Amino acid sequence: MVCLILLWKKKSRLDKPKHINCHANGESQGICNSHFYLVEMQELLDDTISEEQHIYMKRNRMLIRAMLMQLGIALLATMLAIYDIVTIVGAGPVGSIMGLIVFWFAYQLDFSRRKKIGLSAPIFSALCFSLIYFLAWSKVEAYIPIITLMAFYTIGLSIVIRIEIKRDSKKNFEWDEEILHVP
């Protein structure tokens, strides 16, 4: 006689019902059902991640989105400045506010390395403003140095964000290996 056992699994798995022949091994129906149920429950527990890891991944995704928005604003500001240098008057404060938002998220969510990414935008805006103000540059004089600085900042920011995403995916991969490891 064949036991038909249906167990609900994670939403990501859509398995067909399992069939096992209980009497082939000389086991009674009750022993067979309980053994199979325990094996299936252990598989489910092995596949789950802890609540702490889930919260970390959720917060991390939110912070990465904010950092990518900061990068998008920096890229847009650079392109607008190439077209007309006067646009940095508006793009600088917008980028600084986005950077402060990233800093606030990183501070609240306890991502210490990423606080520096958020603070880079207001510091960079202050640097550009200081250069223009203290060196008394006109629009023509400021064009090449400021565009060059903005391009290097945007490239550097994209590299740092890519490193952070790579580092994070490596950490998630370590968790996956931890979950899949069977002692």
pLDDT digit string (tens) for 111-131?
888 899 999 999 999 999 999
Residue 20 sits at φ, ψ, to 5 deg, of -135, 145
User: Quick one: residue 146, left, alpha or beta (phi over 0 = left, psi -120 to 50 = alpha)?
Assistant: alpha
Predicted TM-score (pTM) of this structure: 0.65
User: Residue 153 in contact with residue 76, Cβ under 8 Å?
Assistant: no
Report pLDDT digits (tens) over 74-122: 999 999 999 998 999 999 999 999 999 999 999 988 888 889 999 999 9
Q: DSSP 3-state assignment of 13?
A: coil
